Amino acid sequence: MNFPFERHTLTNGLRVLIQPDNQTPMVAVNLLYNVGARDEDPQWTGLAHLLEHLMFEGSKHIPNYDTPLQLAGGINNAFTNNDFTNYYCVLPAANLRTALWLEADRMCNLNLSEEKVEVQRKVVIEEFRQRYLNQPYGDLLALSRELSYTQHPYRWSTIGKSIEHIEQVPVSVIRGFYEQHYAPNRCILVLSGNLDPQKALREVEYWFGELPGRALPKKPLPEEPPQTQPRLQQVFRPVPEAALWMGWPMPGRNHPDFKTLDLFSDVLSGSAGGYTMDELIRKRGLLNQGGFYVSASADPGQFLFSATLREGKKNQAVAQEIQAFLFEIAEERLNADDLHRATQKMATSNAFSDANVQNRALRLATAEWLGGAESLSTEWNEYASLSVDNVQTAVHRYLKPECSSTLLYETETNA
């Protein structure tokens, strides 16, 4: 990243990153809370995401979050993943104070009324239907997680395991979850845009400085035991084409091998010139679309393959071919030019992301959460220094057939 930033930590534990850019008229205010679906009780999944919705329903001193921000010319949104919950707003730089005023109050003073919870339950249930129940292949993500993880809470999706969890979770449980996880020492605040760093820091201290930190430590999460046997599941669904999903356990984002496997997935599927497109789609005619990617989670995650198959192709046979393909590419075809091309594209993608304040603020927050935003200026060099040997070693260590999970998602006509 070409944009320098400052880091400060307030006495209550709030970490603040400030990144000035005088070429934009805007400022982005990004708050990353260290709570995600992995922190949920298995009895009440989907809670972190439901709470994200409720964070827009007003706080103790400000009954409506959205209107003041819109009056300041701003937009806002949020997302929840398995690791964290991220909120952002983008507004004209002159109105930064409005965003800080709003965010500080909802950080510790959320107003959770029964009525608001009931409406947001309905909204989230419609989101559940729209994205997961009413879509072809909509349950593939949930099935694949259940197949991949036996202990770790990554075994359920952010939206939750079932609509019933969202319908029935008591308001007291939602309130307890909020009080446990929302606090300045659980948050990283990033300001990026047209601002004076000193003035911005004074504003942050004014609005957030006396909010209380919370001492409750996060409870340790269950570790996923090593996988030693392949797993296989077959389901039949009313979809036009069969789909294949495969996963292999791999380290979390801070492990040295993460970048190696991430780069390998880019070599395979990060471009129309990659092996997936050229070999599996063009030459072998196995797939209609799909490819390899990594789950990029903080805790140990998965190296993934997901695709729909060409008509007439048998799912189990393709799965075997995919497993062999990984080793064939790594051992026989991978070369330094493949790695060079993937890192060149990565450099452009990063610059593309940094072209607006909102993405830049999110990248800074995520990197800080993972261990330090300074990594954004060094990570590309780490990727560029990886060798064919590094990739081959990682493929042999992690992508073994006995570690694979395979979901054969068949059309009902094949049942």
Partner 1 sequence: MPNPYPLQAPAIDLSQAPDFPEFELLPLSSGTSLNLLARSQNPLSKLSLRYPIGIDWLGKPFPLNTLVQLLGEGTKQKTAAEWNAALDRCGAFVQKSANRETLVFSLICRNQNLAQALPLFRELLLESSLNKDEFDMQKELQISDFMQESEQVSEQARRLSSNYLFKGHTLFQEEQLSELQALDLEQVQAAYQTLIFEQMPEAFASGIEPGDLAPLTAFLASLPAPAGQEPKINPWTIPAAADLHFAMPGKSQQALRVVGPAPSTRIQEEFTFRFMLVLWGGYFGSRLMKNIREEKGYTYGINASPMRFKSASYWMVNTQINGGKKEETLAEMKREALRLMQGDVRAEEIETVRNYLAGSLARTLDGVLNRHDRLMGLQGLGYPADYLRLHHQSLFEIGPADIQLAAQKWINPEHWICASAG
Residues 72-131 that bind partner 1 (CB under 8 A): 72-76, 90-92, 94-95, 97-98, 101, 105, 109, 118-124, 126-127, 129-130
17 close to 188: Cβ distance less than 8 angstroms: yes
CB of 81 or CB of 411, closer to partner 1:
411
Q: Which is nearer to partner 1, 143 or 370 (CB)?
A: 143
**Residues from 282 through 341 that contact partner 1 (CB under 8 A):** 282, 285, 288-289, 308, 310, 337, 340-341
Closest contact distance (angstroms) between CB of 224 and partner 1 is 32
> Where would I find the beta strands (DSSP E) of 154-217?
187-193
For 307-387, where are the alpha helices, taking DSSP H only?
315-328, 336-353, 357-370, 379-384
Is the CB of 221 or the CB of 351 nearer to partner 1?
Answer: 351
* Residue number with CB closer to partner 1 (317 or 351): 351
Figure out which of the listed residues 278, 331, 374, 412 binds partner 1, where binding follows CB under 8 A: 278
Contacts of 415 (CB under 8 A, 6+ apart): 236
The amino acid at residue 300 is: P
To partner 1, the closest distance from the beta carbon of 148 in angstroms equals 24
**Identity of the residue, 39 or 354, whose beta carbon is nearer to partner 1 in the bound complex:** 354
Longest dimension (CA), the chain: 66
Write the interaction track for partner 1 spanning residues 129-148; mark x where CB under 8 A is met and - where it is not: xx--xxxx------------
Closest contact distance (angstroms) between CB of 32 and partner 1 is 20
Amino acid, single-letter form, for residue 218: K
- The answer to whether residue 348 forms part of the interface with partner 1 (CB under 8 A) is yes
Question: In whole angstroms, what is the distance from residue 99 CA to residue 72 CA?
Answer: 9
CB distance 87 to 55 below 8 Å? yes
The piece of 176-184, 215-223, 318-326, 354-362 that touches partner 1 (CB under 8 A) is: 354-362
Question: Which positions ≥6 away from 234 have C-beta within 8 Å?
Answer: 315, 407, 408, 410
- Residue whose CB is less far from partner 1, 304 or 342: 342
User: Which tokens in the block code for residue 77?
Assistant: 């949104």
User: Which range binds partner 1 by CB under 8 A, 149-157, 164-172, 355-363, 396-404?
Assistant: 355-363
Q: Are 157 and 35 in contact (CB under 8 A)?
A: no
Residue from 214, 231, 284, 345 binding partner 1 (CB under 8 A): 345
Question: Residue 241, interface with partner 1 (CB under 8 A)?
Answer: yes
Q: Which residues of 287-316 are buried (b: 16+ CB within 10 A; e: fewer)?
A: bbebbbbbbbbbbbbbbbbbbbbbeebebe
CA neighbours closer than 13 Å in the CB half-sphere of residue 230: 13
**How many CB atoms within 10 Å of residue 123?**
12
| Residue among 316, 212, 174, 338 nearest 263 (CA) | 338
Strands, sheet with 187-193, edge to edge from the N-terminal-most edge strand: 6-9, 15-20, 187-193, 26-33, 85-92, 75-80
Q: What is the CA radius of gyration of the chain?
A: 23
Residue 215 Cβ vs partner 1, minimum distance, rounded to whole Å? 19
Locate 270 and state its tokens. Answer: 């990060």
Map the footprint of partner 1 across residues 4-33, applying CB under 8 A: 21, 23-26
Residue 255 or 283 with smaller CB distance to partner 1: 283
Count of residues near partner 1 by CB under 8 A? 81
CB nearer to partner 1: give 157 or 405.
Answer: 157
Residue whose CB is less far from partner 1, 76 or 80 = 76
Piece of the chain touching partner 1 by CB under 8 A; list 34-42, 216-224, 275-283, 312-320? 275-283
Nearer to partner 1, 39 or 241 (CB): 241
Among positions 151-210, residues that touch partner 1 (CB under 8 A) are 206-207, 209-210
